[in-house]
Amino acid sequence: MADVASIDLVKVVALLGVTVVAVPVFRRLGLGSVLGYLAAGLVIGPFGLGWFSDPQAILHVAELGVVMFLFVIGLEMRPSHLWSLRRQIFGLGTLQIAACTAALTGVGLLFGYEPVVAFIGAMGFVLTSTAIVMQLLAERGDIALPHGQKIVSVLLFEDLLIVPLLVLVALLAPGEPSSDASRWTSIGIATGVLLALLAAGIWLLNPLFRLLAAARAREVMTAAALLVVLGSALLMQLGGLSMAMGAFLAGVLLSESTFRHQLEADVEPFRGLLLGLFFLGVGMALDLSVVRENWMPILGAVLAMMLVKALCIYAVARLMDSSHHEALDRATLMAQGGEFAFVLYSTAAASGVIAASQNANLTAIVVLSMALTPLVVLAGRP
Q: What would the DSSP string read from start to end of 329-366?
A: HHHHHT-S--THHHHHHHHHHHTTSS-HHHHHHHHHHH
Tens-place pLDDT, residues 243-273: 777 777 777 777 777 777 777 777 777 777 7
- The answer to whether 312 and 96 have CB atoms below 8 angstroms apart is yes
Tens of pLDDT along 326-342? 999 999 999 988 877 87
Q: Do 129 and 59 meet the contact criterion of CB atoms below 8 Å apart?
A: no
Please provide the average confidence, as pLDDT, over all residues in the chain.
79
Share of the chain above pLDDT 70, in %: 88
Please give the Cα distance from 363 to 347 (Å, whole number).
12
**Range name among 56-65, 152-161, 163-172 with the lowest pLDDT average:** 56-65
Would you say residue 101 has pLDDT above 90? yes
Alpha carbon distance 81, 74 (integer Å): 11
Do the beta carbons of residue 330 and residue 102 sit within 8 Å? no
Q: What is the DSSP letter of 179?
A: P
Amino acid at 114: E
Task: Select, from the ranges 205-219, 284-298, 321-335, the one with the highest average predicted confidence (pLDDT).
Answer: 321-335
pLDDT tens-digit readout, 350-370:
778 888 788 888 888 888 898
Asked if pLDDT for residue 1 goes beyond 50, the answer is no
Where residue 305 falls among pLDDT bands split at 50, 70, 90? very high
pLDDT digits (tens, 9 = 90+) for 61-86: 666 777 777 777 777 667 776 677 77
CA torsion, ordered 249, 250, 256, 262, to nearest 10 deg: -140
Instruction: Please name the amino acid found at residue 121.
Output: G
Amino acid identity of 34?
V
If you average pLDDT over residues 139-164, what whole number do you get? 80
Most confident segment among 37-51, 242-256, 282-296, 330-344: 330-344
The CATH class given to the 2-380 domain equals mainly alpha
CA distance 146 to 131: 19
Check if the beta carbon of residue 153 is closer than 8 Å to that of residue 93: yes
- Confidence class of residue 163 from pLDDT cuts 50, 70 and 90? low
Measured distance between the N- and C-terminal CA atoms of the chain, rounded to whole angstroms: 55
Going by C-alpha positions, the residue among 319, 321, 315 that lies closest to residue 334 is 315
Gap between the Cα atoms of 251 and 72, Å rounded: 6
Instruction: Identify the pLDDT of residue 6.
Output: 47
| Range list of H helices, 260-355 | 260-285, 288-293, 295-319, 324-333, 340-350
Q: 302-307: long-range contacts (C-beta < 8 A, 24 or more apart)?
A: 302/365, 302/368, 302/369, 302/372, 304/107, 304/110, 304/111, 305/104, 305/107, 305/125, 305/337, 305/365, 305/369, 306/335, 306/336, 306/369, 306/372, 306/376, 307/335
At 98 the pLDDT is: 92
Comparing C-alpha atoms, which of 103, 65, 381 is closest to residue 247? 65
How many C-alpha atoms does 317 have within 13 Å on its Cβ side?
25
DSSP 48: T
Return the C-alpha torsion angle 230, 231, 233, 239, nearest 10: 160
